[in-house]
Amino acid sequence: MPRPSARISGIIPSGKDGWELHFSAWQRKEAGEPIIMLSVGDHDFDTPSETVEACVTALRAGHHHYTQLPGIPRLRAAMAKLSTQCTGIETTIDQVIATPGGQSALYAAVHAVVDDGDHAIVVAPYYATYPGTFRSAGADFTVVEARAADGFQPTRAAIEAAIQPNTRAILMNTPNNPTGAVYSRETLEAIAGVCRDHDLWLLSDEVYWTLGGGEHISPRGLPGMAERTLVINSMSKSHGMTGWRIGWLTGPEEMITLLISLNLVNAYGLNDFVSRAAIEALENGYGVKEIAELYAGRRTLFLDEIRGVNHVVVRGSEGGMYVMLDVSAIEPDCETFAWALLDAEQVGVMPGASFGEAAKGHIRIALTQPEHVLKEAAKRLRRFIATYERKAA
């Protein structure tokens, strides 16, 4: 075949990542081993039945057609209302565009702010698709690590040190995947300050905003930020709709208008019946409170089971769907730890190293199992650590 473009070839991240472990755990589970999978961020429960019924009704009612490019007006209105809640800034329908999932909103945001050869700053630990998304836009980026010792809160000094003359944007995520850290007001004010002082865009990935534990703070709501912030949102996590592929982007109206042209050439609107179901789910908040309570309960239970285990330090783990444990005092190489845990106790977790430097020495646990399974996983983890330490001694 003729040569593929450098952009498409560059999207695939090179080198090792934690997915090898995930796929191995998955294969072994399929083969009948009693593996507990705590490696992936997809819910273990189905979409709320009211949302499913709304979709079936929409299908039967003949909603099989093209939709308006930025989303059906009622869908945009429901999304704008949620953005008002999420960001604390009154949001109009013209300031949102519906997208096929949060990843698509992220892709649109990145393509909206960088040109070929521009530079961006990506705050780590980060969601695995971030580097590839910048590569797909031909942009260069610098990863700024939020240190484990700081509870994975990034600092202004570290971000500012990474700025180059062609830097156009900062990408951050709170509540954070993989660490579960919820950025403090102080952290967000620091990041906002850098954006204002250096005239940068802030791409703020807030797909876990309903799973933050307390009040959600969006940097879009800070002074002077609404005009330079694009908020990535999704119904995947908050509404239990990962497989439906529906999300949205919030930003200044002029930018949303430009993004409608991107939609023209890459998606041409959204799935009609999914949009209708999403309207019902958004307007009625189907599942939102229950899902938030479920993860809060799981987090508390798992952390209670783990706290007090010798040499394990809990970091971040305040929100989202994840818990991050520093296991470096037991085994400095977190990949070795994760593989040995899988072999000895049939528990699949992600090695922190697969999310960048700062998360090295950690393991990420996805709270995507019922409480009794999480309790059993914690028991196996405790037993593994006790045995590992005895062997090492």
Q: Which is nearer to ligand PLP, 127 or 273 (CB)?
A: 127
Q: Burial letters for 105-138: b for 16+ Cβ neighbours within 10 Å, e otherwise?
A: bbbbbbbbbbeeebbbbbbbbbbbebbebbbbbb
19-30 helix and 334-345 helix, angle to the nearest 10 degrees: 10
DSSP 175-204: S-TTT-----HHHHHHHHHHHHHTT-EEEE
Selected range binding ligand PLP among 5-13, 102-110, 257-265, 335-343, rule: CB under 6 A: 102-110
Shortest distance, position 43 Cβ to ligand PLP, whole Å? 11
Site string for ligand PLP, 51-90 (x = CB under 6 A): ----------------------------------------
Contact present, 354 and 19 (Cβ < 8 Å): yes
Selected range binding ligand PLP among 90-98, 101-109, 328-336, 350-358, rule: CB under 6 A: 101-109
Residues in 177-206 that interact with ligand PLP by CB under 6 A: 177, 205
Q: Which is nearer to ligand PLP, 208 or 302 (CB)?
A: 208
- 192 φ/ψ angles, rounded to the nearest 5 degrees: -60, -40
- Name which position in 131, 247, 269, 287 contacts ligand PLP (CB under 6 A): 247
Q: DSSP code of 129?
A: T
Position 179, amino acid = T
Q: Which is nearer to ligand PLP, 180 or 328 (CB)?
A: 180
CA distance 328 to 312: 8
Shortest distance, position 62 Cβ to ligand PLP, whole Å? 27
Shortest distance, position 86 Cβ to ligand PLP, whole Å? 14
Shortest distance, position 328 Cβ to ligand PLP, whole Å? 24
- Name which position in 91, 103, 167, 369 contacts ligand PLP (CB under 6 A): 103
- Name which position in 35, 80, 108, 207 contacts ligand PLP (CB under 6 A): 207
Contact present, 220 and 192 (Cβ < 8 Å): no
Longest dimension (CA), the chain: 68
Residues 6+ apart with CB under 8 A from 344: 384, 387
**E strands present in 220-281:** 229-234, 247-250
Q: Would you count residue 167 as binding ligand PLP (CB under 6 A)?
A: no
Identify the CA nearest to 321 among candidates 192, 181, 193, 202: 181
Contact present, 225 and 58 (Cβ < 8 Å): no
Q: Which is nearer to ligand PLP, 208 or 337 (CB)?
A: 208
Q: Would you count residue 101 as binding ligand PLP (CB under 6 A)?
A: yes
Shortest distance, position 39 Cβ to ligand PLP, whole Å? 13
Identify the CA nearest to 263 among candidates 98, 80, 134: 98
If binding means CB under 6 A, how many residues of this protein chain bind ligand PLP?
Answer: 14
Q: Would you count residue 240 as binding ligand PLP (CB under 6 A)?
A: no
Q: Which is nearer to ligand PLP, 298 or 312 (CB)?
A: 298
Q: Which is nearer to ligand PLP, 234 or 271 (CB)?
A: 234
Shortest distance, position 58 Cβ to ligand PLP, whole Å? 20
**Contact residues: ligand PLP, CB under 6 A:** 41, 101-103, 106, 127, 173, 177, 205, 207, 234, 236, 242, 247
